[in-house]
Amino acid sequence: MNRSRLIKMLFFLVLAGSTAALAYFLYLQRPVGLPAGLAAGNGRLEAIEVDVATKIAGRLGRVDVREGDQVQAGAVLARLDADDLRAQLRLAEAQARQARQAVNEARAGVRKADSDVLLAGKTLQRSRELVGRGFISGDKLDRDSSGLQGVQAGQSQAQSRVAEAEAAVAAADARVDSLKVNVNDTDLKAPISGRVLYRLAESGEVLAAGGKVLTLLDLSDMYLTIYLPTEIAGQVALNSEARIVLDALPGQVIPGRVSFVAPKAQFTPREVETRSEREKLMFRLKIKPDPAWLEAHADLAKAGMPGVAYVRLQPDAVWPANLQVSGK
């Protein structure tokens, strides 16, 4: 590209200020002289960032890792002070024990009420027999009948107290479970295996719920984003074979695959009226390096590294010698 054209393109970027314009410029800077069936685009190696944040509010007790440390999924990276929560948990467990004792007492009350009902029923039966023989008056029968109704009402109340006590046990157990979850949440664990990118908080800081403590970089899920014109991107199939060459690792040809092709083109300006403007339509693609290569070269691949991605447009296209992967 001559100097005058380069200046024009830079001026175009300043005026447009869009991702698509930048993509078009980068495409024009792509390597030339590629064999038929291959395309290339410039980009930067990117990785998924995952925040480690608090679920509950609290004071940060300690942070066990620093920026650059490699961590494994599930490892405890930091802890909140949990003394207050543990005290609440002990109180809730004591209340749960009291609630269970109340259930036992309520059930004992039901057994006594059942016994009273049984006795009152037998007393009423005897009174009926004696009234029939004329040994006692009807007043005694009425009192015994009323007595039976009274103890039956007491029986119903005793059964209700059991249900209430059991509900109190369920509520106390739920409170205990909730506090146990909160205590467990004071351990901030790594949701993924990766590298610590940022340490955002220090010991002693009081954080609100959702306060970020660390940011992790998922080195197993890296990709390089490139942009290709419409007529080229239309020939790229998902999962097509690709190659990546990073500027910092010119001797390393990284195998990869096309993991994403944007379903919609980007362009500048928004209203395209001429063919020359339509040619600036660009599609975004993601090229994912081979996971085995990433695992074997975890210390080499770093997010932000610029490079070039080469994409195979046709299944029978042959990779040139400088893009052959070692061992293949």
Contact partners, residue 156, CB within 8 Å, separation at least 6:
none
**In this predicted model, what pLDDT tens digit does every residue of 119-140 receive, in sequence order?**
888 887 887 877 777 777 777 7
**In this predicted model, what pLDDT tens digit does every residue of 79-91 receive, in sequence order?**
999 999 999 999 9
Helix (H) or strand (E) holding 146: helix 138-185
Angle at 311 between CA 310 and CA 312, to 5 degrees: 130
Top-confidence residue, 268 or 208? 208
**In this predicted model, what pLDDT tens digit does every residue of 185-238 receive, in sequence order?**
999 999 999 899 999 999 999 999 999 999 999 888 889 999 888 888 888 888
% of the chain with per-residue pLDDT over 90? 40
10 Å CB burial of residue 204 (0-12, 13-18, 19+) is: exposed
**How far apart, in whole angstroms, are the C-alpha atoms of residue 146 and residue 82?**
59
Top-confidence residue, 75 or 5? 75
Q: Which two tokens stand for residue 231?
A: 């007529």
Does residue 71 carry a pLDDT above 50?
A: yes
Q: Which two tokens stand for residue 327?
A: 């061992």
**In this predicted model, what pLDDT tens digit does every residue of 150-195 receive, in sequence order?**
888 888 888 888 899 999 999 999 999 999 999 999 999 999 998 9
**How far apart, in whole angstroms, are the C-alpha atoms of residue 33 and residue 309?**
15
Nearest to 65 by CA among 245, 197, 236: 197
Q: Which two tokens stand for residue 73?
A: 């999924």
Beta strands in the chain (DSSP E): 38-53, 58-63, 70-71, 76-80, 187-189, 194-199, 206-207, 212-229, 241-246, 254-261, 282-289, 306-312
